[in-house]
């Protein structure tokens, strides 16, 4: 089997079933799939481990964490990009949409400067060099409550391979931070704000939303179309907000905060994404709706690792326990995220698709990665 990899005596997780079998990876693609427990000469004996498609991550803060490992500590971008790429590969993620904030605030205690264009250029440059282990696209987080959103979006073009533009509105008192006390805990711990500084911060953000909110939202929707990107909403809370998302052409909803919003997404045909840490912890750290509750109500389509890359695979197996259906759970981290972002070449075990696959064992119900292949090359 020179030039090929054969994974045999495995349990292959297809879209609708789990079957014993073998799979051949060749020239970056899935070349053959067969059923049975035979181990051909030269094959890797998987001893009954699961083989799944590689995980597809639509929203992760992980790159920003590597760029700023502690508050006010900046790290060289190339090193951060390579570390981020390697970490994701080690957790089974073979496709990632790197989330970068666009829209900055130059005044006030909570100010932050622009960085997305420069970092995006570095990601694209290192990607083109062949140094990255997995597949990278761009996800622009459009901060409605900012001063410079439209100017920063204008710096990107169709050639940048922007896959997602998400509409973010972190104005205190609504969406993720309806409970302002949760925002206060975050701001005081991460940014060291005093009570007076936090009150000024809330007032400043509210003013920015009132001044720029409507224009920024309309402009971001237009820019997403220009870039050929899928539009996502973020932290929808009410049915009314979901109706607006549908009118804007949103393809999937990131982290709806209430059952009401999730039900409205289902009615409007908008795919529902929740965070893996919410599943693993059994609840939202912001006090919003539990992802497990939405899963029980059949209101969950996609999982994102959000801020813990290793949680993505863990959460899929946790959902498999809840639903009693491993293929359905694996689809939330493979096939469905591929579908909503228009990636028809990956996300399923199927001949002719990208050879992005995982070998997954288990210890006491916890998934254990025993191999990660990206385009047929072992990267983890």
Give the model's pLDDT for residue 180: 62
Structure tokens at 81: 């990009």
Q: What angle do CA 300, 303, 309 make, to 5 degrees?
A: 160
At residue 51, does pLDDT exceed 60? yes
Q: Is the pTM of this model over 0.95?
A: no
| Burial (Cβ within 10 Å: 0-12, 13-18, ≥19) of residue 298 | exposed
Percent of the chain with pLDDT over 70: 88
Structure tokens at 213: 């909110």
At residue 2, does pLDDT exceed 50? no
Give the model's pLDDT for residue 181: 62
Element at 248 (helix H, strand E): helix 239-248
Residues in contact with 92: Cβ distance below 8 Å, sequence separation at least 6, in sequence order: 54, 55, 312, 313, 358, 360, 369, 372, 380
**Residue among 35, 5, 4, 41 at smallest CA distance from 22:** 35
Give the model's pLDDT for residue 276: 97
The pLDDT tens digits for 175-214 are: 556 656 666 555 565 566 677 766 676 666 776 777 777 8
β-bridge partners, 362: 367
Mean pLDDT of 115-128: 96
The pLDDT tens digits for 289-315 are: 999 999 999 999 999 999 999 999 999
In angstroms, the CA 266 to CA 80 distance is 37
| Better-scored residue on pLDDT, 230 or 72 | 230
At residue 54, does pLDDT exceed 60? yes
CA dihedral 152, 160, 96, 302 (to 10 degrees): 70
At residue 173, does pLDDT exceed 60? no
At residue 12, does pLDDT exceed 90? yes
Residues in contact with 185: Cβ distance below 8 Å, sequence separation at least 6, in sequence order: none
- Domains of the chain, with CATH numbers? 1-53+348-380 (2.30.40.10), 55-345 (3.20.20.140)
φ and ψ at 340, to 5 degrees? -70, -20
Give the model's pLDDT for residue 1: 36
Give the model's pLDDT for residue 176: 59
Structure tokens at 78: 């190339």
Give the model's pLDDT for residue 3: 67
Least confident of 207-221, 226-240, 357-371: 207-221
Give the model's pLDDT for residue 48: 97
Strands (E) located in the chain: 4-13, 18-26, 29-35, 44-45, 50-53, 55-60, 93-102, 135-143, 162-168, 230-234, 252-254, 271-275, 302-304, 357-363, 366-374, 377-378
Confidence of residue 70 (pLDDT cuts 50, 70, 90): confident
At residue 94, does pLDDT exceed 80? yes
Residue 310 CB neighbour total at 10 angstroms = 18
At residue 379, does pLDDT exceed 90? yes
Mean pLDDT of the chain: 91
Confidence of residue 172 (pLDDT cuts 50, 70, 90): low
Give the model's pLDDT for residue 165: 98
Least confident of 79-88, 149-158, 207-216, 284-293: 207-216
The pLDDT tens digits for 244-277 are: 999 999 999 999 999 999 999 999 999 999 999 9
Mean pLDDT of 122-138: 96
């Amino acid at each position: 089997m020179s030039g090929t990899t054969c994974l045999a005596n495995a349990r292959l997780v297809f879209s609708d079933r789990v079957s014993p079998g073998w799979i051949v990876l060749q020239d970056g693609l899935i070349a053959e799939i067969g059923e049975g427990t035979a181990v051909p000469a030269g094959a890797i004996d998987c001893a009954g481990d699961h083989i799944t498609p590689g995980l597809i991550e639509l929203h992760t803060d992980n790159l920003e964490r590597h760029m700023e490992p502690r508050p006010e500590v900046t790290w060289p971008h190339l090193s951060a990009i390579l570390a981020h790429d390697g970490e994701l590969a080690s957790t089974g993620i073979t496709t990632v949409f790197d989330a970068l904030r666009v829209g900055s605030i130059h005044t006030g205690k909570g100010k932050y400067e622009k960085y997305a264009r420069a970092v995006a250029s570095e990601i694209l440059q290192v990607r083109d060099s062949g140094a990255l282990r997995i597949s990278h696209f761009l996800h622009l987080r459009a901060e409605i409550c900012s001063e410079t959103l439209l100017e920063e979006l204008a710096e990107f073009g169709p050639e940048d391979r922007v896959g997602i533009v998400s509409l973010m509105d972190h104005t205190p008192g609504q969406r993720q931070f309806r409970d302002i006390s949760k925002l206060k805990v975050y701001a005081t711990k991460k940014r060291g704000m005093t009570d007076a500084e936090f009150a000024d911060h809330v007032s400043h953000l509210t003013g920015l939303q009132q001044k720029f909110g409507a224009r920024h939202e309309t402009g971001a929707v237009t820019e997403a179309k220009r870039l050929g990107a899928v539009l996502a909403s973020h932290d929808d809370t009410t049915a009314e907000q979901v109706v607006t998302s549908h009118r804007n052409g949103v393809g999937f909803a990131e982290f709806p905060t209430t059952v009401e919003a999730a039900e409205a997404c289902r009615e409007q045909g908008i795919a529902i994404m929740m965070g893996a840490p919410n599943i693993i912890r059994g609840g939202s750290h912001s006090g919003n709706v539990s992802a497990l509750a939405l899963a029980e109500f059949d209101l969950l389509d996609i999982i994102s690792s959000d801020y813990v890359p290793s949680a993505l695979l863990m959460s899929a197996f946790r959902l498999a326990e809840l639903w009693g259906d491993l293929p359905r759970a694996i689809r939330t981290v493979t096939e469905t995220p591929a579908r909503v972002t228009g990636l028809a070449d990956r996300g399923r075990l199927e001949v002719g698709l990208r050879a992005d696959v995982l070998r997954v064992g288990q210890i006491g119900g916890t998934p254990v990665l025993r191999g990660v292949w990206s385009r047929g090359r072992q990267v983890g």
